[in-house]
Amino acid sequence: MPAMDRPADWGPADLIDLDRYPILDPDSPRGAALIAEIRARMAETVLCALPGFLKPEVMPRLVAEAEALVPLAYRGPAEASPYFYNYGTGLDALPAGHPRRRKSPRRLSQIASDLVPEGALIRRLYEWPPLATFLARALNVPALYRCADRFQGLNISVMEEGGCQQWHFDTNESNITLLMQAAEQGGEFEYVPLIRSAEDENYDAVRRVLDGDSNRVVRLAQEPGMLVLFRGHHSIHRVAPCRGKRRRLQSILAFNTHPGVMGSHESNLLHYGPRVALFPREPAARQAAD
């Protein structure tokens, strides 16, 4: 009986359509062409979507495993600014309409990394070294390391009907997501490429987006099994409101270019709830602050 007929025996390589995406052979002509295409798309549009990265036949089990964890998801704040929670940034000194003070609805729950079982397919994929090796090649960085944070490494985002995520920027330069289940309607990923830079926050342009200006907004209708690589540190983005009774389930795979990266304690409390305080703060070589 082929391995794909025995779900209990599936390994990470069984989940991926390796004929379409030869990630295990990056130096072959087809592998090199795939990496070159991803790099070109990222350079041109800051985003590369790989539809059908995971095989259709594995998606029902991925969804079932995620659905079983939904009761453990933490609701989190109902609204947030594009810059998340602005720790120590002196917001009171800014005008009332300043983008750093503007909050928008955030209607989602998150399943923290430590709640995803060791045997879950999505964890086995996330912890599979060849995936990190491929992603590093695709993003043109020397290496990628799984996030060392107990809560932030692997997350599953859960959106019910009306669920959405506010316009925001990412802390990390690159963000990697994999959609497991789409909402019946809505739930598109929307972004404005490179709206700010290291030299210029471009608050006027950010303000226009928050006010509803969609002239520069790019929309991506994700589909189950699609892997998305996105440079979100300088590109504001959101998830549009979901409609229908089917949950939108998306995994966030956190990788860093340095080992030992931890999230901030304040961010963990906000995203994952009071239980975070039950765990000691772990030392880390580096810390990422939202």
pLDDT at 3: 47
CA gap 151, 90 in Å, rounded: 27
Mean pLDDT of 100-114: 96
Q: How far is CA 111 from CA 74, 116, 211, 259, in A?
A: 7, 7, 31, 23
Residue identified by tokens 């079982």 is 117
pLDDT of 57 strictly over 60: yes
- pLDDT tens-digit map of 235-248: 999 999 999 999 99
What is the residue range of 261's domain?
A: 47-288
Q: Would residue 30 count as lying in a domain?
A: no
What are the tokens at 97? 């309409």
Q: Would residue 210 count as lying in a domain?
A: yes
**Helix residue ranges per DSSP H, the chain:** 12-15, 29-45, 59-69, 121-126, 129-139, 203-210, 265-272
Neighbours of 17 (CB within 10 A): 17
Q: Would residue 32 count as lying in a domain?
A: no
DSSP 8-state secondary structure symbol assigned to residue 257 = S
pLDDT at 229: 98
Residue identified by tokens 């107990």 is 150
pLDDT at 7: 65
Count of the separate structural domains present in the chain: 1
Angle, helix 129-139 to helix 29-45, in steps of 10 degrees: 60
pLDDT of 146 strictly over 90: yes
Q: Would residue 42 count as lying in a domain?
A: no
Q: Would residue 10 count as lying in a domain?
A: no
- pLDDT tens-digit map of 159-212: 999 999 999 999 888 999 999 999 999 999 999 999 999 999 999 999 999 999
Q: Can you give the CATH number for the domain in which 217 is found?
A: 2.60.120.620
Q: Would residue 102 count as lying in a domain?
A: yes
Average pLDDT, the chain: 93
Q: Would residue 258 count as lying in a domain?
A: yes
CA gap 156, 109 in Å, rounded: 8
pLDDT at 85: 61
